[in-house]
Amino acid sequence: MEAQVLAVLGSATGPVAATWVQERLDGDLAYTTVITILTRLLDKQAVTRTRSGRSFLWTPVADGAGLTALRMRRLLDERNDRDAVLSRFVSALSPHDARVLRALLADGAPESGGAPEDGAES
């Protein structure tokens, strides 16, 4: 449901009210449910809100992919064994996903061959 709400918000040309979101979900969800979803997305930093009279206007910060990335990051942040989790994740990637990840990491790599931030060697 969060992804659906984010998709609706993403189609807006600016900040919108929860009723606007509800209407575009074909009224399948109760207003209170839409507010609950929006509030959860706010807690996950996937949306922002600004006061408008007695209600709020909502704006997406992340799309569906961004929301998934936020979830993955939060799960990783909850673990003490980050290195083990990352190692298991990378070892389970398909060859295509591994190529995509390598390309993304190469694009974000520092320009100089300096030492990594934590001082460890690569």
Model pLDDT for residues 65-97, shown as the tens digit of each residue: 877 887 788 888 888 998 999 899 999 999 999
The pLDDT of residue 40 is above 90? yes
pLDDT interval class at 110 (50, 70, 90): low
71 φ/ψ angles, rounded to the nearest 5 degrees: -65, -45
The pLDDT of residue 115 is 40
Mean pLDDT of the chain: 85
> pTM score, two decimals?
0.61
Q: What does the alpha-carbon distance between residue 9 and residue 47 come to, in Å, rounded to a whole number?
A: 9
More confident residue, 5 or 119: 5
